Structure 1
Amino acid sequence: MKTVMITGSSSGYGLETARFFHSRGWKVVATMRNPNKAILPCSERLRIIPLDVTDERSIAAALHESGPIDVLVNNAGIGVVGAFEATPMSHIRKVFDTNTFGVMAMTQAVLPLFRAQNSGVVVNVTSSVTLTPMPLAAAYTASKMAIEGFTGSLAHELAEFNIRAKLVQPGYAPTTRFGQNSELNIDDLVPAAYKAFAQPIFAAFANPALTTRESDVAEAVWAAANDLSGRLRFPAGADAVALARAS
């Protein structure tokens, strides 16, 4: 029986991915900063472990508590929507701390374990903004684009150790808390000079032609985790697939 560790499992893609793997007979280690927010019921095959990906001591403790794992899904992330000009650098650093450096820290911590067992898969969840960058998400896009390059390079670096690195690129899911999982209100990040520009963009967000379901992402993560080919990228959701085909 294989074991998957998923970061950011309290809601959204992480929660659905944990459910998906569990339904297929895997052991699941669902991690989150605050286990009190856990929706998943603990069982013999499902454990909930506290983990803050921006804290190296927390990472070490979580990996020690989890025991051997076969797949790491780096899903934890935070969003920020607004004009770059109005986004404080302190907040941009927090976005990178979680979305970029948190992914790197988790990966660096798990690689010695994967090398020791001569197997393992790292699945990094990015975003469809890496396929077609969108306005009012410059900092978020940059944090995810960095992981695209990181994972592509890592895939070559780890191949000789029988370790695979994959990317899942979710599209826009209205049900997720993108932008809400932020310390800043969107209104604070759209100065008056940007209002006319931002209005139709936010209207399009409210009424997207194509969207991504949380189950689409879970299925893409499953496919990536079990893929034995050299394929790197797995778009998730109708909108992301359309963007991938067009790019």
Structure 2
Amino acid sequence: MTKTVLITGCSSGLGKSAARHFAQSGWNVVATMRKPEPDLAREFPDSVLVQALDVADPARIEAAFEAGAARFGGIDAVINNAGITILSVFEATPDHAIRRIFETNVFGTMNVTRAALPYLRRQGGETIVNVTSGVGFVAVPLLSLYVSSKHAVEGLTESLSYELESQNIRVKLVEPGAMRTTNFTATGMAASQDAPVPEGYKAYFDHALGAMINYPFESTEELAVAEAIYAAANDETHRLRYPVGPDIEEYARLRWSTSEVEYLAGMHRLTGQMAWREIGK
């Protein structure tokens, strides 16, 4: 039988690419987004159902699952992809911006996962894939809130991978590297306007931002991440992590294959901290 996947955050970028990849691979897709757009349904009229879903609204989440199950007969996999970011100095970031990041990235993932479990159990148990980031297991400056939210999702996912095995439900992590996804970046930049840079941080902020702009790795391709998400959704092994992107290989090497001293030295180099220490002398 044809399998069905529900994916969050499908209006653009990675979510849209993942929805298209699953549909092209023969799956039915419940493509969810806060403000529904018909593009995917027009492209795949028989296999894509577009539904409104706000990860902060449990009623809308349940309605999307009900609609997907009614249209396609069940839900076999769920992809938690929806997320937002903010570029800011933590000290100057307003409380409402902090809460919005966690409401979307952490509690939103929890809300969708909790709603998914009865549907997956009904199918005999299938797969949840949580899309995090390379900064889910390392950290970089000016993205402390995004980083901490993704660390939270990484911990949640690993814990659930053990817990939900009892329900015959597999849980996976896909960890993309730096990507040029338009809506994600635009949302983050808009949120960043709420967090003006304090005078005492301006020189450092400009330096760290410059290090980001001159990032020493190529951008991660959306299609490569979509393919990793698809592979994770179909993987019946105990594998947990699927890192994707030229930068993530180096991050993973530093985090898990070196000492703490070597790891920190490498991250200081990659994030421009080493150069900043010279400038600040």
TM (norm. structure 2) is 0.83
Partner of 2:30: 29
What does 1:150-229 correspond to in 2, within 5 Å?
150-182=156-188, 183-186=190-193, 188-210=195-217, 211-229=219-237
Corresponding residue to 2:46 among 11, 32, 44: 44
User: 1:138 aligned to 2:139?
Assistant: no
SS of 2:40 mapped into structure 1: coil
Higher relative contact order, chain-length normalized (CA < 8 Å, sep 6+): 1
1:99 and 1:143 in contact (8 A); partners too: yes
SS of 1:168 mapped into structure 2? strand
Secondary structure at the residue paired with 2:170? Answer: strand
Q: CA deviation at 1:179?
A: 4.4
Q: How does 1:119-138 map onto structure 2 within 5 Å?
A: 119-138=125-144
d(CA) in 2 for partners of 1:58, 1:175: 25
Match of 1:191, as an amino acid?
Answer: P
Q: Secondary structure of the equivalent of 1:219?
A: helix
Q: Gapped runs of 5+ residues in structure 2?
A: 256-281
Go from structure 1 to structure 2 and tell me whether the alpha carbon gap of 1:66 and 1:196 turns closer, same or farther (over 3 Å shift). Answer: same
> How many Å apart are 1:72 and its aligned residue?
0.2
Q: For residues 91 and 39 of structure 2, what CA distance do their matches in structure 1 show?
A: 37
Spell out the pairing of 1:82-161 with structure 2 (5 A cutoff). Answer: 82-161=88-167
Cα distance, 1:64–1:86 mapped onto 2, change above 3 Å:
same
Structure 1 or 2, whichever has the larger Rg, is 2
Matched-pair contact (CA < 8 Å) for 1:71–1:120: yes
Q: How far is 1:117 from its partner? A: 2.1
> What amino acid is the match of 2:51?
I
Q: Secondary structure at the match of 1:184?
A: helix
Q: What is the TM-score of this pair, normalised by structure 1?
A: 0.94
1:241 to 229, 245, 249: 249
**Map of 1:232 onto structure 2:** 240
Deviations 1:58-91 (A, max 9, x none): 0111111010111100000110111001111111
SS in 2 for 1:59: helix
From the two aligned structures, give the one with the greater helix fraction: 2
Say how many residue pairs are matched: 246
Identity of aligned residues (%): 46
Q: Structure 1's 54 and 187: CA in aligned 2 closer, same or farther, altered over 3 A? A: closer
Deviation at 1:143, TM superposition (A): 1.0
| RMSD of aligned residue pairs (Cα, Å) | 1.6
1: distance between equivalents of 2:208 and 2:183? 17
Asked if structure 1 preserves the Cα contact closer than 8 Å seen for 2:94 and 2:195, the reply is: no
